[in-house]
Structure 1
Amino acid sequence: MKFIDLSVNREEMFSMGIEALSGQHYVSFPVSLGVVDYEEFYAIDRATFERFEQDLPAALALVTRARRLLIIQPGSHRGSAI
């Protein structure tokens, strides 16, 4: 997978872009595990991506929810959203 960030919000610490091989749009944010930091990626459709480009509060609302809620609960060493 090759993630290409098309929009980066440094203040709120998230980015949006497209995965080059599949064409899937995404929103991502950093997570800290203590010993290692990584990014989590969440799939969004093209219409949502285009709306988020124009509506930062809507994008931030999704990122905030994603930071708090998970469909599959993490293992004990998953880390926490930054």
Structure 2
Amino acid sequence: MKFVASFFDRDDRYSLGVEEQSSTAYLSIPVSNSAADYEEYYALSDHECAAYATDREKARAFAEQCRRHEHDDRLIRKPGWSRGTPR
């Protein structure tokens, strides 16, 4: 999988982009576990991605929901046994 970000919000700590092989739009958030810092990638519809690109408040709210694990069904890569916590 190759994730290519097109937008970064450093204040609210999320990014938007596309996974190139599947053309799946995503929102990602940074997380950490005892071994590494990494990103969790949440699948978006093209409509959601376009909306979040123009409405930072909606994107921020979705990122916060992801941090609370409310959209785990959308994770593109499922976490392993040592799931990280949001940074």
TM score, norm. by length of structure 2: 0.84
CA deviation after TM superposition for structure 1 residue 75, in Å: 7.0
2:45 is the counterpart of 1:45: yes
Counterpart in the other structure of 1:58: 58
* CA distance 1:13–1:54, change in 2 (3 Å): same
- Superposed CA deviations along residues 8-51 of structure 1, whole A, max 9, x for unmatched, are 01111110000111110000011011331110000000000000
- Structure 2 gap segments, 5+ residues each: 74-78
2:82 is the counterpart of 1:77: yes
Aligned length: 81
* CA distance 1:52–1:36, change in 2 (3 Å): same
Choose 30-39 or 55-64, whichever is displaced more.
30-39
Poorly superposed stretches of 4+, deviation over 6 Å: none
- Structure 1 gap segments, 5+ residues each: none
Which is greater in Rg? 1
Identity of counterpart residues, as a percentage? 35
Alignment of 1:31-42 (within 5 A): 31-42=31-42
- Superposed CA deviations along residues 43-63 of structure 1, whole A, max 9, x for unmatched, are 000000000011000000000
Whole-Å separation in 1 of the counterparts to 2:4 and 2:35: 25
TM score, norm. by length of structure 1: 0.88
Whole-Å separation in 1 of the counterparts to 2:24 and 2:3: 9
2:25 is the counterpart of 1:20: no
